[in-house]
Amino acid sequence: MGKSSSSVLAWLITTCLLLIITVSASNYDYEGSLNRRFLLGNGLASTPPMGWNSWNHFNCMIDEKIIKETADALVSTGLAKLGYNYVNIDDCWAEINRDDKGALVPKKSTFPSGMKALSDYVHSKGLKIGIYSDAGLFTCSKKQPGSLGHEELDAKTFASWGIDYLKYDNCNNDGSRPTLRYPVMTRALMKTGRPIFFSLCEWGDLHPALWGYTVGNSWRTTNDISDTWESMVSRADENEVYADYARPGGWNDPDMLEVGNGGMTKNEYIVHFSIWAMSKAPLLIGCDVTNITKDTMEIIANKEVIQVNQDKLGVQAKKVRMEGDWEVWAGPLSNYRIVVLLLNRGSLRTAITAHWDDIGITPATSVVARDLWEHKTLETSFTGNLTATIESHGCKMFLLEPVS
């Protein structure tokens, strides 16, 4: 065999080996846990989701009339135009028993028209609809079945109804790890061919921020929130620990908004909304939007704060300074801007200073500061630091832009 023949043989052997490696790799990408991110190629959540969820205000007292009226209200109040486009049904929507084919059945007494008709109604308003299930034998209320062992059938059912969002809880499970149970639903959702936002609600079990990005579009980092200052700030603290793991396509979730439910003051709700926005948390309204107050609308309809949450850079803000009862939070935004929160957790009014070297600005840089709650740009530029006096349980939120 001549030199040219040897070269051809070597080329053939190399080509065959490359083909074998390529096929093996492609099979591994499909099946392998290291590449499970391909199973979540649903193209959703480039920014955090916005919408409404029934649980915080209504708990189990839900029916199709409430869902339709909420969809109507999101449109009529202008909230839908601001981005609040998910109408999410939480626990207690299904009968306790599945049908003779094993499928989930909407509760006849509260959802007599069925979920497909309700989905069509919500979609007719230009909105999206979400539903709730559980990676266990029963949901948290124990009033309806969970999806454990029925993942493929339930995913097909949700897709056939036109569901756009699935909140997936962690109650009454079999004791196995959520890292084993949740990816089963991920694969089932992907098999349907319908893009469905997948919200992991396993309350921070096994630190889902460390593995959630390959499985879902958001993951709860905390236990359930309640409508108190102490609960809200503690959830913010727990969520902030995982700031580095949030990114476009997958977001840390410190639970839904309590703004408007009456347990906190207006200033405290402003703090709540500000932290959730800059933390790139899902902005899911938890109050009754059919009976919304002016104060609540001023908070949840703040376009400038919403824009921080929806900024395309997708970087979660962090605490950069803490002294006693005051804190400075900061995070980068697109176009070289920075959002800063001065937070007073104490009982007395106090002055708080954000220093450039804490928030990631070079000391000599001058910035223009815009107050996102007062909706005004401060008259002078700032170099080195910015100071403001903050009321008890209050905050100031600034957008800083370098002077060109």
> Catalytic residue numbers?
169, 224
CA separation for the pair 181, 200 (Å, rounded): 11
Tokens of 98: 């599945």
Is-contact 278 327, C-beta < 8 A?
no
Taking a C-beta distance cutoff of 8 angstroms, is the pair 45, 196 a contact?
Answer: no
Among residues 164, 139, 182, 189, the alpha carbon closest in space to that of 51 is found at: 164
The residue whose two tokens read 């649903």 is 42
What single letter denotes the amino acid at residue 382? F
- Asked if 85 contacts 282 with a C-beta cutoff of 8 angstroms, the reply is no
DSSP 212-250: GGGT-SEEE-SS---SSHHHHHHHHHHHHTTGGG-BTTB
Residue ranges with strand state E in 283-337: 283-285, 318-323, 326-332
Q: CA-to-CA distance for 310 and 339, rounded, in angstroms?
A: 13
DSSP-assigned letter for residue 96: S
> Strand pairing partners for 390?
350
- Round to whole Å and give the CA distance between 192 and 188: 7
| DSSP-derived 3-state class of residue 95 | coil
236 Cα distance to chain centroid: 14
* Amino acid occupying residue 321: R
| Amino acid letter, 237 | D
The secondary element (H helix, E strand) that includes residue 4 is helix 3-31
Q: Are 113 and 71 in contact (CB under 8 A)?
A: no
